């Protein structure tokens, strides 16, 4: 939405301008989501002009889900030049000399206004003279190229960040404090998982104390009390809940059979893990495996460990569907 030069939701305006850019594209944003990066990469790969993205190499932002490294890799693979600037906070988007936008919005769904619950943002479209001035300012900054090796190192730095004290809090309300607490808990040394489920997704199942079943190789699954698991539907490629495991897995095919599972399914998925809800939004969120750093092949075994950056990316996607403000 625009009112004269003032912009309150930039998504359509920005992507229309980028699609028809006749001059070099220069994007400046400290935060980026995977899905916005994917859209940008699609346009950049077919563009006849050069694209540059200036961001900030911030391991803390990776671990809070605000800076998506798989998204940066996607941009790099599409030919976008990636650059780092220390202490970056500016957001500016320039397409040739005919379009420019400066404002508060990051390159995320909530920032640009395409999420179900968007941020309250303001931006201002620039005149041709202001576009030239802004481009000169950005290009005058001390910028460092970002390579694939730099992104590897950024992910390692994110993994090595110090971890806060462990606390446990069971809640399903998707507030900012709930999300921040969940991400803080994910950093305290407990294992993080993606738990694949088959058949129809059922968010209501995880709204209170619940359970999930695991397949039966010859040994017990590795879930432990306190572990956090993203519940992921193989059928629709969507995650829809985050739960905390409350006990060691129990071998109990008879229980599953008593709950209505067939004898075959009870024998195939005999290990029961009990859970409490940590984040269960009302709507299902589609999340591609590459968005959270997990391969579909790995999920064929029913569950797989996930790193902190992938876990927080999934949590932020759930947050987008539930409301809550993007912090900065």
**Cα dist from 172 to 272, 285, 290, 311, whole Å:** 22, 15, 26, 17
Assigned token pair, 68: 């998506």
Render pLDDT for 216-273 as a digit per residue (tens, 0 to 9).
766 788 899 999 999 888 777 788 889 999 999 998 888 777 877 788 878 888 899 9
How many Å apart are CA 136 and CA 126, to the nearest integer? 14
* Residue 213: strand pairing partners: 272
The predicted pLDDT at position 168 comes to 46
Cβ neighbours of residue 314 under 8 Å, at least 6 residues apart?
194, 230, 239, 242, 287, 291, 292, 306
Q: With 90 as the cut, is the pLDDT of residue 75 above it? A: yes
The predicted pLDDT at position 176 comes to 54
SS3 assignment, position 245? strand
Residue carrying structure tokens 């481009």: 135
Residue carrying structure tokens 């390579």: 147
SS3 assignment, position 270? coil
Q: Length of the chain, please? A: 328
Q: What is the DSSP letter of 107?
A: B
How many Å apart are CA 115 and CA 322, to the nearest integer? 10
Q: With 90 as the cut, is the pLDDT of residue 15 above it? A: yes
The predicted pLDDT at position 267 comes to 84
The predicted pLDDT at position 233 comes to 82
Residues 129-158, mean pLDDT to the nearest whole number: 95
The predicted pLDDT at position 165 comes to 45
What is the rounded end-to-end Cα distance, in angstroms, of the chain? 23
The predicted pLDDT at position 174 comes to 52
Residue carrying structure tokens 């859209």: 39
Render pLDDT for 287-304 as a digit per residue (tens, 0 to 9).
777 888 887 777 777 888
CATH class given for the domain over 2-160: alpha beta
| Dihedral of alpha carbons 212, 286, 58, 277, sign | negative
What are the residue ranges of CATH 3.30.870.10 in the chain? 2-160
Assigned token pair, 191: 């294992």
Position 102 confidence tier, pLDDT thresholds 50, 70, 90: very high
Residues 305-321, mean pLDDT to the nearest whole number: 85
Q: How buried is residue 216: exposed, middle or buried, by Cβ count under 10 Å (0-12/13-18/19+)? A: middle
Position 322 confidence tier, pLDDT thresholds 50, 70, 90: low
- Look up the pTM and report it: 0.70
Burial track 109-134 (b if 16+ CB lie within 10 A, e otherwise): bbbbbbbeebbebebebbeeeebeeb
The predicted pLDDT at position 217 comes to 65
The predicted pLDDT at position 325 comes to 42
According to CATH, what is the number of the domain 176-322? Answer: 3.10.590.10
How many Å apart are CA 66 and CA 15, to the nearest integer? 21
Percent of the chain with pLDDT over 90: 51
Position 14 confidence tier, pLDDT thresholds 50, 70, 90: very high
Cβ neighbours of residue 291 under 8 Å, at least 6 residues apart?
34, 35, 68, 70, 71, 313, 314, 317
Q: With 70 as the cut, is the pLDDT of residue 44 above it? A: yes
Q: With 70 as the cut, is the pLDDT of residue 321 above it? A: no
What are the residue ranges of CATH 3.10.590.10 in the chain? 176-322
Mean pLDDT across the chain: 86
How many Å apart are CA 31 and CA 36, to the nearest integer? 11
């Amino acid at each position: 939405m625009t009112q004269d030069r003032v912009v309150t939701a930039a998504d359509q305006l920005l992507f229309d301008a980028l699609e028809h850019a006749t001059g070099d594209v220069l994007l400046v944003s400290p935060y980026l989501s995977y899905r916005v990066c994917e859209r940008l990469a699609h346009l950049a790969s077919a563009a006849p002009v050069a694209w540059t993205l200036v961001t900030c190499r911030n391991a803390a932002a990776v671990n809070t889900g605000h800076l998506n490294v798989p998204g940066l890799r996607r941009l790099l693979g599409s030919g976008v030049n990636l650059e780092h600037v220390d202490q970056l906070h500016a957001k500016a988007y320039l397409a040739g000399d005919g379009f420019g936008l400066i404002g508060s919005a990051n390159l995320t769904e909530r920032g640009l206004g395409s999420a179900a619950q968007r941020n309250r943002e303001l931006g201002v479209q620039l005149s041709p003279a202001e576009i030239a001035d802004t481009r000169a300012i950005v290009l005058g900054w001390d910028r460092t190229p970002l390579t694939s090796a730099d992104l590897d190192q950024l992910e390692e730095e994110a993994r090595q960040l110090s971890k806060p004290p462990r606390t446990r809090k069971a809640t399903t309300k998707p507030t900012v404090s709930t999300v921040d607490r969940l991400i803080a808990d994910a950093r305290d040394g407990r294992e993080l998982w993606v738990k694949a489920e088959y058949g129809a997704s059922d968010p209501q199942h995880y709204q209170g104390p619940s359970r999930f079943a695991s397949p039966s190789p010859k040994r017990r699954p590795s879930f432990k009390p306190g572990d956090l698991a993203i519940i992921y539907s193989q059928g629709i490629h969507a995650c829809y809940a985050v739960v905390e495991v409350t006990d060691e897995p129990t071998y109990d095919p008879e229980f599953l059979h008593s709950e209505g599972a067939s004898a075959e399914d009870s024998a195939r998925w005999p290990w029961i893990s009990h859970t409490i809800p940590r984040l269960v939004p009302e709507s299902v969120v589609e999340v591609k495996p590459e968005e959270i750093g997990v391969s579909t092949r790995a999920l064929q075994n029913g569950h797989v460990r996930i790193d902190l950056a992938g876990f927080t990316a999934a949590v932020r996607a759930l947050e987008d569907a539930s409301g809550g403000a993007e912090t900065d």
